[in-house]
Amino acid sequence: MMLSRCSGVGLWGRARVGVLHPNHPLKGRHPGPEVGASKVQLRHKLGVPGVQGPPPRPPVMVPGVQMRSLRFALGPLFARLRPYTGGPCNSAEGQPREGSEVLLDVCQRRHFLRGDQQQALAWDSYLRGCHPGFGPLGMELRKNLAAQWWASVVVSREQVFAVDSLLHRAPAAGMMPAGEALRLIQGGTVREIFQNKELHKEQITATLEKVLGMSGVLREDLLHGALEQYINCLELVNKRLPCGLAQVGVCFHPVPDIEPQNDNIARIGERTMSSLVWFSSARTAGQWLDYWLRQRLQWWRKFAIGPSNFSSSDFQDKEGRKGNHLYYSFPWGKEPVETLQSLGDKELLQMYPGNKSKLHGRDGRKNVIPHVLSVSGNLDQGVLAYLCDSLQLTESSLTRKKTLQRKVLKLHPCLTPIKVALDVGRGPTMELRQVCQGLFSELIEKGISVWPGYLETMQTPLEQLYAKYDEMSVLFTVLISDATLENGVVQLRSRDTTMKEIMHISRLKDFLTKYITAAKNV
C-alpha cells in the first residue's frame, strides 16, 4: 500500500484508523488503550517512584475513563510528578536574584514579555507598567487569565452583568478630579499657544486652562464607568439587591520618570484591569466584603503551584472605609494583584446628585441606597505573578558529557498559552505534515491551542525541542512519525513528568479535552 499517493484527507483518515502492515505485530489488535499496556505493567512491577508528600496542585483526574484506559492514558504521565521546588525565590541555586534573572531571560526569549532593543529591562519596568508590552505568548496568557476571571465572576453568577465604558470621556462626566486626571491634548495645539508671539504670560496660562478644560479625560479605573450604569442595572433586576457590574479593560496611570532631573515629568502607562462593582444594602456590606475576599483569594490560589505565595492584608482609608489588598510574594517582596474596598454610598451620591429616590434598591421590603464594594484586579500583575510561580529549575542531561539546567514554566493547564505542540519525526515529510494538518484542525475545532512545530524546516534534536517547549509552557508534545502512518499511533510527551507514552491518534482529542476540563474542576 503506497501511502505517498494518498491525498491529505486520505492520509489523515488512514492515520486515525491505523493502517497496519500484514506482518505488523499489532495486526488484528485494537490500536487503542491496550497499546503500551505491557510497559505500564512493567513500571508497576519495578515500582515507579511517586511524589513524596502531597503535591501542592492536585493531579488532574479525567472523569468518564475506564480504569484500564486511565492507567494507560494518565498513570505513567502522572506517576512521577516532581515535588514543587518553587519559583525564582526557590531556585536550585537558592539565589533569588539569580532565579529572577533566569525567569526574565526565559520570558523575553520565549516572547511572554517584550524586551527593549535600546536598553535591558528589569522587573521594575514591568511592574511599573513602563515597558513595551507583552509578547504573543504573554498576550495569550493574559487572555486566558481574563477568561478564567470572567467565568468565575460573571458567567457563573446570577446577579452579575457585563458592562462597558469609554476609554476617555468629557471632563465634566463622573467624578474625575480636574487637576490630577490624565488628559488627551494634541501636541500641535499646545505648540501653537506657546509660539503665538501676541499672547502674554497671563493669556497663555488662560488659554492652556481653557484647552485643558475641554480635553478628554483618560480613565484610570473601571469603577466610575460602572457607577454611571447603576440606574440602568437597577431597572434590569427590578431594583432587587444585591447585584453587580463587571468589566475587563485597559486603564491608564502616570509613570514617574526615573531620571532625577525629570521629577515633574510623568509618562502614561497602561494596564489591563478587571473590575467587579457590587451593590448591596448597608446591613450586609461587611458580610459581602468577607465573602468576596474569600472567593478572590481562593481563585488566585487555584492556579498556583505555590498557593501560599498569595496572601491578603486589611486596610482603612482616610475616611475609615475598610478594604483588603491581595498580594503575591515575588522574590523581591510582595506586590498587589487585587484590591477590595467597601466605599459606602458616597460615590453613588456624588455621581447622582439631587433626587435620591432613583438610587433606591430593594432589600427585602425596604428601599435603601446601596453601599458599593469595589473589587479591582491588575491582570498584568497577575500574569507576572503566575510566570514567577510557574518557573522550576532542575538538572537536565542532554548528553553524557554535558549537564544543563532545565527551565520549565509549569503554568496551570487553564492558563498556559499553548496546550499542544505538533512535530514530525522520522518518515516521509510531506505525508507526515498532512497528518499534522488534519490533527491541527481537529484540535483547534475543540478549542485546544496548538503550536504547529511541523512547519519548521530546520532539523532540531528532540531534546532541544522539548527544552524549548518546556520554556514555552507547552503541556504536551505530540510526535507524528512513520509509525503513525503504519498503525495510527503517536508519541505523547508530558511537560510536567517528561515521560513519553504511546497513544492512538484517534484518542488524542478526547484525552486532551478531558485533561483540560478536569484541570478546570480541580
Residue 118 has pLDDT above 70, yes or no: no
Phi-psi domain of 293 (left: phi exceeds 0; alpha: psi -120 through 50; beta: other): alpha
Strands (E), 148-219: 160-162, 168-169, 183-184, 216-218
Read off the pLDDT of each residue in 69-90 and give the average, rounded to a whole number: 35
Residue 244 has pLDDT above 70, yes or no: yes
pLDDT at 402: 55
C-alpha cell at 355: 433626587
Tell me the per-residue pLDDT of 275-321, one tens digit each, with 9 for 90 and over.
999 999 999 999 999 999 999 999 999 999 999 999 999 999 999 99
Highest mean pLDDT among 21-25, 173-177, 324-328, 401-405: 324-328
* Length of the chain as a residue count: 522
Query: 10 Å Cβ neighbour count for 182?
Result: 19
Of 21-30, 370-379, 475-484, the one with minimum mean pLDDT is 21-30
Residue 99 has pLDDT above 50, yes or no: yes
Read off the pLDDT of each residue in 466-475 and give the average, rounded to a whole number: 96
The vertex-60 CA angle with 58 and 61, nearest 5°, equals 115
Residue 325 has pLDDT above 90, yes or no: yes
* Owner of C-alpha cell 484508523: 17
Residue 3 has pLDDT above 60, yes or no: no
C-alpha–C-alpha distance, residues 242 and 437, integer Å: 50
Give the burial string for 187-207 (b: 16+ CB within 10 Å, else e).
eeeeeebeeeeeeeeeeeeeb
Using alpha carbons, select from 219, 273, 223 the residue that is nearest to residue 244: 223
Strand partners, 366: 363
Using alpha carbons, select from 186, 175, 255 the residue that is nearest to residue 219: 175
Residue ranges per structural domain of the chain? 11-82+418-521, 84-167+229-400, 170-218
Q: Are 339 and 324 in contact (CB under 8 A)?
A: yes
pTM of the model: 0.79
Using alpha carbons, select from 137, 175, 102, 17 the residue that is nearest to residue 505: 17
Residue 6 has pLDDT above 50, yes or no: no
Strand partners, 504: 489
C-alpha–C-alpha distance, residues 379 and 397, integer Å: 36
Read off the pLDDT of each residue in 101-126 and give the average, rounded to a whole number: 78
C-alpha–C-alpha distance, residues 340 and 251, integer Å: 17
pLDDT at 94: 41
C-alpha–C-alpha distance, residues 409 and 88, integer Å: 11
Helices (H), 446-504: 462-471, 482-487
pLDDT at 189: 75
Residue 504, classed as helix, strand or coil, is: strand
Give the rounded percent of residues in the chain with a pLDDT score beyond 70: 72
Using alpha carbons, select from 522, 438, 418, 424 the residue that is nearest to residue 480: 424
Return the CATH number of the domain spanning residue range 11-82+418-521.
Answer: 3.40.50.800
Using alpha carbons, select from 499, 500, 498 the residue that is nearest to residue 490: 500
pLDDT at 398: 54
Of 105-114, 130-139, 384-393, the one with minimum mean pLDDT is 130-139
Q: How confident is the model at residue 161 (pLDDT cuts 50, 70, 90)?
A: very high
Using alpha carbons, select from 68, 25, 77 the residue that is nearest to residue 48: 77
Give every CB contact of residue 118 below 8 A, 6+ residues apart in sequence. none
Q: Are 95 and 352 in contact (CB under 8 A)?
A: no
Does the fold of domain 84-167+229-400 match that of domain 11-82+418-521?
no
Read off the pLDDT of each residue in 434-460 and give the average, rounded to a whole number: 93
Q: Are 115 and 138 in contact (CB under 8 A)?
A: no
The enclosing H or E element of 435 equals helix 429-445
Tell me the per-residue pLDDT of 331-374, one tens digit each, with 9 for 90 and over.
888 999 999 999 999 999 999 988 888 999 999 999 999 999 99
Return the half-sphere exposure (C-beta side, CA atoms, 13 A cut-off) of residue 146: 19
Read off the pLDDT of each residue in 416-433 and give the average, rounded to a whole number: 92
Per CATH, the homologous superfamily of domain 84-167+229-400 is: Bira Bifunctional Protein; Domain 2 (3.30.930.10)
Q: Are 241 and 363 in contact (CB under 8 A)?
A: yes
